[in-house]
């Protein structure tokens, strides 16, 4: 069976990402569901991300005759079928076993980028046969630069061509909901986890086939076995050390496109340009790091003014639909990344889920462009309500 065999039925049953979210929640145990959905503190930033997107309105225009909206997008000297990709998410296999494999396969089939996290549950080497030319690698910077260079070597040798350096983790956030749900890194068998598994048999069977989720990329670092645990290693090596000078050394070592993810302040946008970064990803880490953060959408217009098209400006955090993507592009983003939307897909429909999410998003984009009366994504700013009212 292929996705095509099920597509019509699934598009009727799950026509929106919100429908996939509901099904994913039913199929996932609490610990996985809370890890996927949580923000931090009181989850105000989660709400802010959605409210900022929903506040963007357009003026449609009609009587345009026959139209064929175009979604193909050029980014960093590559062409992608759509202006969106799959964001990096750590511990992805907790939400659904082999999720990264399914993401990679869908990215290759539909010609969109998939960004693999340093804290993935699959390794760059294991994903290489599935990715084709669609691989981006996201780096959490170890304190030991030689360790960072080893990670970059592995990614480059596995075919990943674009480096994404996450800059917004001066220290791990608290994420109280995941603590209450009983998450430990790495996940350990406990009576609570066993009970959650028994009451969610599809997830449990898939987990038994793949094994408990582990941070396999980290575990393969030479010397890791001498560490006490993944948690001890993370505390010892990850976060709190990144500087502009470190970024420059990583960029020079990588010798390829390098994006900074998590930039939110105008001063940091200006400094990224001075340091020669190839692109910026505005992000508040999916609202998972700092509950007092602005939405990236609130920062986007000012960042667009500062960059003046000199480098690509990307955005993630809070995007759930094709209309959300159009809103971000209208305010100045060149490209967007989505994380939770693809997690909902894989948790709801297994290996076919990422394909279904791509179909939903692309069909929604085309439909909404037709409603707006545009064929080219560059026309979006002209349809913004504020632009028309001015």
| Whether residue 278 has pLDDT greater than 80 | yes
Tell me the per-residue pLDDT of 319-369, one tens digit each, with 9 for 90 and over: 999 999 999 999 999 999 999 999 999 999 999 999 999 999 999 999 999
Tell me the per-residue pLDDT of 64-87, one tens digit each, with 9 for 90 and over: 999 999 999 999 999 999 999 999
The encoded tokens of residue 178 equal 């995941």
Q: Percent of the chain beyond pLDDT 70?
A: 89
| Average pLDDT of the segment spanning 40-47 | 92
The pLDDT value recorded for residue 228 is 42
Q: 3-state DSSP call for residue 83? A: coil
| Average pLDDT of the segment spanning 231-243 | 69
Report the C-alpha gap between 317 and 201 in whole angstroms.
Answer: 31
The pLDDT value recorded for residue 206 is 87
Report the C-alpha gap between 369 and 71 in whole angstroms.
Answer: 10
Report the C-alpha gap between 204 and 198 in whole angstroms.
Answer: 7
Q: Are 95 and 86 in contact (CB under 8 A)?
A: no
Selected catalytic residue, list 130, 161, 200, 285: 285
Report the C-alpha gap between 12 and 58 in whole angstroms.
Answer: 27
| Average pLDDT of the segment spanning 240-264 | 94
Known catalytic residue: 285? Answer: yes
The pLDDT value recorded for residue 221 is 79
Of the candidates 276, 250, 273, the residue with the CA atom closest to the CA atom of residue 141: 250
Residue 318 DSSP class: S
More confident residue, 141 or 81: 81
């Amino acid at each position: 069976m292929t996705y095509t065999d099920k597509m019509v039925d699934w598009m009727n049953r799950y026509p929106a990402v919100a429908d996939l979210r509901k099904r994913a929640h039913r199929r996932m145990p609490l610990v996985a569901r809370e890890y996927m959905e949580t923000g931090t503190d009181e989850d105000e930033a989660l709400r802010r991300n959605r409210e900022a997107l929903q506040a963007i309105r357009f003026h449609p225009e009609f009587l345009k005759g026959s139209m064929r909206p175009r979604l193909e997008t050029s980014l960093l000297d590559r062409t992608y079928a759509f202006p969106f990709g799959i964001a990096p998410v750590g511990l992805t296999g907790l939400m659904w076993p082999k999720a990264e494999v399914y993401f990679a396969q869908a990215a290759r089939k539909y010609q969109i980028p998939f960004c693999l996290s340093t804290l993935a549950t699959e390794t760059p080497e294991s994903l290489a046969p599935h990715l084709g030319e669609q691989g981006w690698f996201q780096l959490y910077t170890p304190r030991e630069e030689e360790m960072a260079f080893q990670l970059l070597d592995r990614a480059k040798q596995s075919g990943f061509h674009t480096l994404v350096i996450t800059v917004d983790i001066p220290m791990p956030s608290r994420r109280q909901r995941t603590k209450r749900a009983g998450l430990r890194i790495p996940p350990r068998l406990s009576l609570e986890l066993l009970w959650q598994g028994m009451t969610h048999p599809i997830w449990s069977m898939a987990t038994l086939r793949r094994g408990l989720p582990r941070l396999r990329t980290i575990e393969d670092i030479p010397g890791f076995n001498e560490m006490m645990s993944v948690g001890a290693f993370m505390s010892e090596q990850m976060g709190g050390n990144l500087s502009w000078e470190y970024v420059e050394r990583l960029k020079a070592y990588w010798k390829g496109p390098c994006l900074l993810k998590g930039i939110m302040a105008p001063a940091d946008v200006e400094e990224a340009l001075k340091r020669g970064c190839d692109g910026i990803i505005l992000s508040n880490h999916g609202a998972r790091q700092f509950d007092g953060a602005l939405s990236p959408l609130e920062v986007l217009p000012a960042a667009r003014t500062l960059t003046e098209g000199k480098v690509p400006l990307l955005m993630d955090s809070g995007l759930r639909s094709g209309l959300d993507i159009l809103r971000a592009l209208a305010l100045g983003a060149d490209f967007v990344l989505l994380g939770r939307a693809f997690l909902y897909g894989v948790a709801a429909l297994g290996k076919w889920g990422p394909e279904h999410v791509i179909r939903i998003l692309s069909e929604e984009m085309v439909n909404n462009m037709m409603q707006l009366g545009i064929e080219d994504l560059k026309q979006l700013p002209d349809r913004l309500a504020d632009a028309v009212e001015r």
